[in-house]
Amino acid sequence: MRYLREIIGHKPVIRTLLNTVSSGRVAHAYLFAGPEGVGKETTALAFVRALLCARPAGGDACGVCRECRQVEHQNHPDLCFLQPDGSSIKIEQIRGILRRAPYRSYQGGRKIFLVRKAEAMTAEAANCLLKTLEEPPGDTLFILLSARPQALLPTILSRCQRCTFQSIPTPELLGGLVNLHGLKEEEAQLPAWLSGGSMGKALAYVSGSLGEARGEAVRLAISLGRTGPLEALELAEKISESKDKAYFMLEVLICWYRDLLVYRESEEVRFLYNPDLAADVQREAEGYETGRLVEIIEAVETAKNKIETNANTRLALEALFLKLARLLAPA
């Protein structure tokens, strides 16, 4: 588990949280808002550990006391997690955690409730939580995590101190992969470029759980021009079996077509996101016009955004692959 001072990126947020722990002036509710995978939950857990630590120093946790170890193993009796049950957080789940709010903490500090994917609360659940946020017990803290804060009730937003997380700049992300995760710089470059500023995505790529997706995406991009409508629909059906993999493959496709566009315009390899595929990029770029590449990138971005906002993954991919098969077909 990371200390606050070890978090990659998000310097204004980290500075605020360190000062909060040092001063003891803690709000009753926080909203950690930002894209998926940029470190909201990692930061929240580091913040929680510092708040519950028996011997904090400089606004950060000591990392060795009983409380720190309990938070690290996520078994601290005064830390409660809540996440969607299926596709939503239901009112019964909110009522369940709120039953604990009026009682004293087990270990004499704060009671902390961490709500993952807070935007998934149903209207009834959100209104139930709102009542407690309006009149919170003095030793109770809520931390809401959300990639879509616009989906939360305005009244909930107004009662939370907001910490906004941005995509991590590539140089900082690259440094984190090298210095904190032990990668060699040449191993870290590609995951950092492909991640879109998300440490979570970069680490998933490094772990190999999604590593083969790049090869699949590149093969898909090369083959779609020779694919008929039936084959395009079959590919969409196969890839849509995993929403996470489908989303990642679309990100890789965007990087691939972006590289073709960059090389087409500049003929410079050093600007590529996939420098190890420079020979493939050079060869494939010759068959594209700039306008068509721009149209392809926009089409993939549209499909990715639809999947991100919970549209039907298979339908989004079917529409995209049929369009790409048409755009990539020989004139």
Q: Tens of pLDDT along the chain (331 residues)? A: 789 999 999 999 999 999 999 999 999 999 999 998 899 999 999 999 999 999 999 999 999 999 999 999 999 999 999 999 999 999 999 999 999 888 888 998 899 999 999 999 999 999 999 999 998 888 899 999 999 999 999 999 999 999 999 999 989 999 989 987 888 877 787 788 778 888 888 887 777 655 576 788 888 888 877 777 888 888 889 888 888 888 878 888 898 899 999 999 999 988 887 777 889 999 999 888 999 999 999 999 999 999 988 889 999 999 999 998 888 876 5
- Domain co-membership, 317 together with 226: yes
- Domain co-membership, 152 together with 271: no
- Domain co-membership, 90 together with 33: yes
Let me know how long the chain is. 331
DSSP letters for 183-236: --HHHHHHHHHHTTS-HHHHHHHHHTTTTHHHHHHHHHHHHGGG--HHHHHHHH
Would 195 be classed as within a structural domain?
no
- Domain co-membership, 135 together with 225: no
Would 57 be classed as within a structural domain?
yes
Structural domains in the chain (count): 2
- Domain co-membership, 318 together with 233: yes
- Rounded to whole angstroms, how far apart are CA atoms 313 and 307? 6
* Torsion of Cα atoms, 310 then 311 then 313 then 318, to 10°: -160
Would 33 be classed as within a structural domain?
yes
Residues 44, 10: contact at Cβ < 8 Å?
no
- Domain co-membership, 41 together with 134: yes
Residues 130, 155: contact at Cβ < 8 Å?
yes
Would 16 be classed as within a structural domain?
yes
- Domain co-membership, 253 together with 110: no
Would 115 be classed as within a structural domain?
yes
- Domain co-membership, 232 together with 158: no
CATH for 24: 3.40.50.300
Would 180 be classed as within a structural domain?
no
Name residue, tokens 């709000």.
27
CATH for 317: 1.20.272.10
In sequence order, what are the beta bridge partners of 141? 112
What pTM did the predictor assign? 0.73
Residue 93 belongs to domain spanning: 4-164
- Domain co-membership, 117 together with 237: no
User: Could you give the angle at which helices 243-266 and 313-328 cross, rounded to 10 degrees?
Assistant: 30
- At 145, give phi and psi (nearest 5°): -110, 130
Would 169 be classed as within a structural domain?
no
- Rounded to whole angstroms, how far apart are CA atoms 68 and 98? 24
- Domain co-membership, 305 together with 245: yes
Would 190 be classed as within a structural domain?
no
- Domain co-membership, 220 together with 282: yes
